[in-house]
A and B are shown apart, each in its own frame.
Chain A
């Protein structure tokens, strides 16, 4: 703090007296929300690395023994294969989608995003700390927007790590992935998680309770996954796909086929709308009652 530069504040009577003030950080709420979780962020990155290095290098052995693999798949109930999206598991793109983006990675990033979203406002209010923050020189909108931005940045960073990890094992694991499609899938991966995280933040802000945030966020992630899995089963229930964010993201197999930009933008746009709604509900509520 000794190296802090002088800051004069126009609205302070002390400024005229030429007193020196300690430096204030720009975007303090964002900075705090982001830096508070950096250790956890590293933990998540390690978790993703473990998942990627555990699953993807197995692909060559699985595809080499393609006959055995096919036997195994054939032995599994058809409904299970459809639920787990294992029908394309014989290709590098299908395998990466089924294991990382569609299952383990999806679960991990959803848990991370929902945890961040639920803690951002609901958890902070429940613990009693939001009250003191809001008594300072910030608006509720600022707090909601900056914490949303911090959550979004964390999700994007984690997704970038996943992109780089998969890219790194693409050659050695003989996945033969199209790098652009991998990038597009990573963007969608981030967008889907951001939607769950935004829902968690919204319900946390609406209720002032972390558990409602977790419930709301999990609803988007889990119900989306379940509706997709049921919709896969037969043409009669295929319409359920229309209700599943998971299907919106992965129904078209972006890792194998590429994704249209609209899908990518739509997840972020929808999340921003939920973020705006979060700021609106937070502005209207009594905090900490």
Chain B
């Protein structure tokens, strides 16, 4: 019991003193299953009161990271601190202040949602009266039907209620939006924003950024057990590619091409002469748009379409690019290869 008490004290200290700035701190976290390296020296920090997303393709190590934080599996090397306590010795008092949603959510089917939640309330932090019903209403979840009769989406909602109901300081949510319809995804993202405003920290994963880009302050991209990059969503957006299409009159294709090619970040440029006599240019633009606007300001533009940066595309590029060629968005790059 001694180490539990110690952990609790550490946890409490974490709230009070300087440890309060990080809800999660992972340092060189590695995990091997036999010859498979699920995690390779993963390091990151999640500031308190922030929403931190981790995205990556299936098998990238998202679930393994989360399980290691909850002490469900033990890292081969490295360490993690959760709410100020070492994850290996954090103990039940720390876990009461965490809400966890597993990636492969399996719930007992023979009882009603309400009874299942009562059981999880029995073994988790204190749950305010009425809050379970409030959450269930929000997600339009019927608590009185048997769990086995619920659809996958409704079971996911039960899992979410279970994670949020004791208003934990830290939420660890593995693919929280999976199985939810778009309306409920929005409801979930709204809830994440609310708990963030209430000072709670959210650590969540997804395999597509579109699901979490609205909610996350920072995003870590995980690939093959390594963190490829940690960036703010804004930072990712800056590296993301915009598609542009423009038409101008009074300039031949060759001249327009020459003018645009000089700009940084322009790629895939194709200039064609249209029947109407105008010239059309199609390209992608990466990075700042100001130099581009300046370069085309003197043209007689008839049409200009500059699309929103496509984060999905940016992330997919990071998924597939060879590790060495990936450009770190911030100095926090942990990749060692």
Which residues of A line the B interface, CB within 8 A?
A: 1, 4, 7-9, 11-12, 14-15, 19-22, 24-25, 28-29, 31-32, 36, 127-129, 131-139, 142, 286-289
Q: Does B245 contact A (CB under 8 A)?
A: no
Interfacial chain B residues near A142, Cβ < 8 Å:
92
Contact between chains at A134 and B72 (CB < 8 Å): yes
A287-B73, A289-B73 known; A131 vs B118 contact (CB < 8 Å): no
B176 CB, nearest partner CB in chain A, Å: 14
A131-B72, A136-B96, A137-B93 known; A1 vs B128 contact (CB < 8 Å): no
Encode contact with A along B161-200: 1 for CB under 8 Å, 0 otherwise.
Answer: 0100001000000000000000000000000000000000
Encode contact with A along B73-109: 1 for CB under 8 Å, 0 otherwise.
Answer: 1100000000000000001110111101010111110
Interfacial chain A residues near B239, Cβ < 8 Å:
none
Of all chain A residues, which has the CB nearest B129?
A20
In angstroms, Cα B121 to Cα A24, docked, is 7
In angstroms, Cα B104 to Cα A128, docked, is 8
Instruction: Tell me the residues in window 117-152 of chain B with beta carbons closer than 8 Å to chain A beta carbons.
Output: 118-129, 132
Interfacial chain A residues near B72, Cβ < 8 Å:
131, 134-135, 286-288
A4-B129, A127-B106, A289-B73 known; A25 vs B33 contact (CB < 8 Å): no
Q: Does B8 contact A (CB under 8 A)?
A: yes
Interfacial chain A residues near B95, Cβ < 8 Å:
135-138
Of all chain A residues, which has the CB nearest B169?
A13
Contact between chains at A21 and B129 (CB < 8 Å): yes
In angstroms, Cα B73 to Cα A20, docked, is 35
Interfacial chain A residues near B119, Cβ < 8 Å:
28, 32
Q: Does B67 contact A (CB under 8 A)?
A: yes
A3 CB, nearest partner CB in chain B, Å: 11
Q: Does B70 contact A (CB under 8 A)?
A: yes
Contact between chains at B118 and A289 (CB < 8 Å): no
A24 CB, nearest partner CB in chain B, Å: 5
Interfacial chain B residues near A137, Cβ < 8 Å:
92-93, 95-96, 123-125
Interface centre among B12, B93, B108, B110 (most CB of A within 10 A): B108
**Can you report 6 A-B residue pairs in the complex whose CB atoms are below 8 A from each other?**
A9-B125, A127-B106, A131-B72, A136-B96, A138-B92, A286-B74
A129 touches which of B93, B107, B123, B128 (Cβ 8 Å)? B107
B145 CB, nearest partner CB in chain A, Å: 17
B157 CB, nearest partner CB in chain A, Å: 15
A50 CB, nearest partner CB in chain B, Å: 25
Contact between chains at B8 and A28 (CB < 8 Å): no
Contact between chains at B127 and A136 (CB < 8 Å): no
Contact between chains at A14 and B123 (CB < 8 Å): no
A131-B67, A288-B72 known; A28 vs B122 contact (CB < 8 Å): yes
Interfacial chain A residues near B104, Cβ < 8 Å:
128
Contact between chains at B118 and A139 (CB < 8 Å): no
Contact between chains at A136 and B102 (CB < 8 Å): no
B320 CB, nearest partner CB in chain A, Å: 27
In angstroms, Cα B102 to Cα A131, docked, is 8
In angstroms, Cα B166 to Cα A14, docked, is 10
Contact between chains at A12 and B126 (CB < 8 Å): yes
Interfacial chain A residues near B123, Cβ < 8 Å:
28-29, 133, 136-138
In angstroms, Cα B72 to Cα A133, docked, is 10
Of all chain B residues, which has the CB nearest A24?
B122
Which 6 A-B pairs rank lowest in CB-CB distance, beginning with the nearest? A128-B106, A28-B122, A137-B96, A286-B73, A135-B100, A137-B92
Contact between chains at B73 and A22 (CB < 8 Å): no
Contact between chains at B128 and A14 (CB < 8 Å): yes
In angstroms, Cα B102 to Cα A12, docked, is 24
Interfacial chain A residues near B132, Cβ < 8 Å:
22
Contact between chains at A22 and B129 (CB < 8 Å): yes
Interfacial chain A residues near B100, Cβ < 8 Å:
132, 135-136
Contact between chains at B129 and A136 (CB < 8 Å): no
Contact between chains at A25 and B122 (CB < 8 Å): yes
B306 CB, nearest partner CB in chain A, Å: 45
Of all chain B residues, which has the CB nearest A288?
B72
Other CB < 8 Å A-B pairs besides A136-B95, A136-B124, 18 of them? A1-B118, A1-B129, A11-B125, A14-B167, A20-B129, A21-B126, A21-B127, A22-B121, A22-B128, A25-B122, A136-B92, A136-B123, A137-B95, A137-B123, A137-B125, A287-B67, A287-B73, A289-B33
B273 CB, nearest partner CB in chain A, Å: 61
Of all chain B residues, which has the CB nearest A135?
B100
Of all chain A residues, which has the CB nearest B119?
A32
Interfacial chain A residues near B93, Cβ < 8 Å:
11, 137
Interfacial chain B residues near A24, Cβ < 8 Å:
121-122, 126
Of all chain B residues, which has the CB nearest A31?
B122
A133-B123, A135-B100 known; A20 vs B128 contact (CB < 8 Å): yes
In angstroms, Cα B92 to Cα A206, docked, is 22
Instruction: Tell me the residues in window 265-293 of chain B with beta carbons closer than 8 Å to chain A beta carbons.
Output: none
Interfacial chain B residues near A20, Cβ < 8 Å:
128-129
B102 touches which of A11, A29, A132, A139 (Cβ 8 Å)? A132
Interfacial chain A residues near B121, Cβ < 8 Å:
22, 24
Interfacial chain A residues near B91, Cβ < 8 Å:
139
B83 CB, nearest partner CB in chain A, Å: 12
Interface centre among A20, A24, A132, A286 (most CB of B within 10 A): A132
Interfacial chain B residues near A36, Cβ < 8 Å:
108, 110
Of all chain A residues, which has the CB nearest B123?
A136
Contact between chains at B70 and A135 (CB < 8 Å): yes
